[in-house]
Amino acid sequence: MSTAAEAGSAEVSRAERIEYLLRLADTSLVAGQRLGELLGHGPTLEEDLALGNISLDLIGQARLLLALAGRIEDKGRDEDALAFRRDAPQFRNMSLAEQPNEDFAATIVRQCLLDAWQLETYESLTGSREEALADIAHKAVKECRYHWRFSAGWLVRLGDGTEESHARVSAALGALWRFTDELLTPDALDAHMAVCGIGPAPGLIRERWDARVSAVLAEAKLQKPPHQHYPWHGKRGVHSEHLGHLLTEMQFLPRTYPGVTW
Amino acid sequence: MYTQALDSPAAGADEGSEERERLERFQARIDRDEKIEPKDWMPEAYRQTLIRQIAQHAHSEIVGMLPEGNWITRAPSLRRKAVLIAKVQDEGGHGMYLYSAAETLGVARGDLIEQLLSGRAKYSSIFNYPTLTWADIGAIGWLVDGAAIMNQVPLCRCSYGPYARAMVRICKEESFHQRQGYELMLTLARGSEAQHAMAQDALNRWWWPSLMMFGPNDAHSVHTAQSMRWKIKRFTNDELRQKFIDVTVPQAEYLGLTVPDPDLRWDQTSEHYRFGEIDWSEFQAVLKGEGPCNRERLEARRAAHENGRWVREAAVAYAAKHQAPAHRAQAGAGALS
């Protein structure tokens, strides 16, 4: 990885490192939780198992990243304290990850757009100056390659399948496209992380993501929707209404029975 | 026509004795503990018994994903969530090997699934009980997987090769699940008062249905005798049930939980636990479709099948379009790498 490693070594605060890690961790956690809803309900047994596998990988990434954030914070919060004892505004996931499984097309489009972003991001993070993050990225990037193969493969099949599948996947693409603005538009923290050699260079992810996604959309015979400015970014804690419900379900046991071991 | 008609009684007699000899040779192979393989000759009744049993087992794995899947989104720690996802996924995998084993007997997975969805095929009744609390996930692992192992370990020596081999792998995973379930119960039983109560409540609800998993008493079991001659089955329902109780009661004691059976006692003479009468009317009712979740389980499977129809159709349509020129398929693979 050239971009992050070549960057300077500007000062980075503990709070910024944690904030940046939570963006990655929460995105994996929330996406994994969404896919976890589907196990046992897939269109075929094979797809059921594949989606379960991806969910498992994402939860695994979240665990490593949350644990790292907790260690850096050094206030005794472990992966579970961070996952189960924060409210929606404290979550830093990309809003795309929390969008519901309306149908298989919506799930595939969400995953595909997110997988491309995760794959490029983790690829870049393998050279991060934050060594523990680079280690996690080395593991995650292998998983993301498989996730992308799966979701892009289905996007192509659905886009170039039947009239119905094309219509469904086009509708999902139209509905979810606005959330890609957040993935691709670096904010001040993203820019600062790049300067510090921790995160990818601004613009790099957009360029690579765009090339990757455009190629698959073309193969799937799907029209790329026009860019839509959408400034309500989950990575800054501004979410869609869906996240609160997702967390209500996910966090109910630790909140109902606080202070016990599971 | 004429010759044929004249010849037929004699040919029939020959076929009859030939058939008897074949049956004898088949039984002799079984008696020598040889494995029967898909291309070997086998009596039609043996084939049908196996198809029924393997399909039921496969369906049980698939329907069994539902009660546990019910808690994936609510697992109370990330480790528990990961373990549960992996477990439910393993069950789907077991379903897949078992459908494949059934297919070696000349049936199609699609037809077997159709039988499940139409309600003609059975699956294990235990999955028609609801998972109401987190402790139920522990109880299923400990008791339901524990009972399944008792039933399934002997199947690793089943006379039909593909089934026996599938069971070797399945049993390894099931025994892992059983230990995970027990560890979950132990954590709850030794946790707070509320957690202990949750564990006890789960044992109260899952104990009797787990005992019913072994099927009716031997005197009422329709298939046992023939299945034992064919070495599809190695122990009777009652033998396996007794073995399960003997193993499980001390485990409950170690957890500090009470088995919900006032008649349960250790019998020094036989060195077995004696236990109370199973409510067979409940067993029959659940079997007939009147259990607490029969309707929901089948509905969930049907909904998955129906909601997935357009997806499967799209996959078939895409494959048909891209079958012909090899270079197009290659170009497709390129964009996905």
Chain B hits for A165, CB-CB cut-off 8 Å, are 310-311, 313-314, 317
- pLDDT for res B333: 46
Q: What are the residues facing B160 on neighbouring strands?
A: B36
d(CA A223, CA A172): 12
- In which residue are the tokens 């099948």 written? B305
> Is the pLDDT assigned to residue B332 strictly greater than 50?
no
Q: B267 forms bridges with which residues in the sheet?
A: B272
- Please say whether the beta carbons of B209 and B291 come within 8 A: no
Residue B306, chain A, CB below 8 Å: the answer is no
What mean pLDDT comes out for the span A139-162? 98
Whether the per-residue pLDDT at B115 is higher than 90: the answer is: yes
Structural domains in chain A, CATH included, are 11-256 (1.20.1260.10)
For the segment B111-131, the average pLDDT, to the nearest whole number, is 96
Q: pTM of this prediction? A: 0.93
Do the Cβ atoms of B188 and B198 come closer than 8 Å? Answer: yes
> Helices A163-176 & A104-125, crossing angle to 10 degrees?
50
Interchain proximity A157–B96, CB inside 8 Å: no
For tokens 């190695």, name the residue.
Answer: B234
Instruction: Give me the residue label for tokens 């149908």.
Output: A103
> What would the DSSP string read from start to end of A231-249?
---GGGT---THHHHHHHH
What separation in angstroms does the CA of A194 have from each of A127, A170, A186? 11, 34, 10
Cβ contacts of B48 within 8 Å, gap of 6 or more:
none
What stretches of chain B adopt beta strand conformation (E)?
A: 265-267, 272-274
Partner A contacted by B300 (CB < 8 A): yes
Tens digit of each residue's pLDDT (9 = 90 or more) over B67-102? 999 999 999 999 999 999 999 999 999 999 999 999
C-alpha A59/C-alpha A29 separation (Å) is 5
Cβ separation A49–B92 shorter than 8 A: yes
Q: Does A258 touch chain B (CB under 8 A)?
A: no
Give the SS3 label for residue A225: coil
pLDDT in tens, A218-256: 999 999 999 999 999 999 999 999 999 999 999 999 999
pLDDT digits (tens, 9 = 90+) for B136-178: 999 999 999 999 999 999 999 999 999 999 999 999 999 999 9
Distance between B161 CA and the closest CA of chain A, angstroms: 24
Q: Please list every residue in chain B whose beta carbon sits closer than 8 Å to the beta carbon of residue A49.
A: 89, 92-93, 96
pLDDT at B249 over 70: yes
Asked whether the predicted pLDDT for residue A44 surpasses 80, the reply is yes
Three-state secondary-structure class, residue B108: coil
Among B59, B66, B77, B87, pick the best mutation site for testing chain A contact (most A Cβ within 10 A): B77
What one-letter code names the amino acid at B265? R
Rounded to whole angstroms, how far apart are CA atoms B108 and B146? 30
Start-end of H helices in B32-133: 44-69, 78-103, 109-117
- The single-letter DSSP state of residue B160 is B
Rounded Cα distance, B60 and A126, in Å? 43
**For residue A165, is pLDDT > 60?**
yes
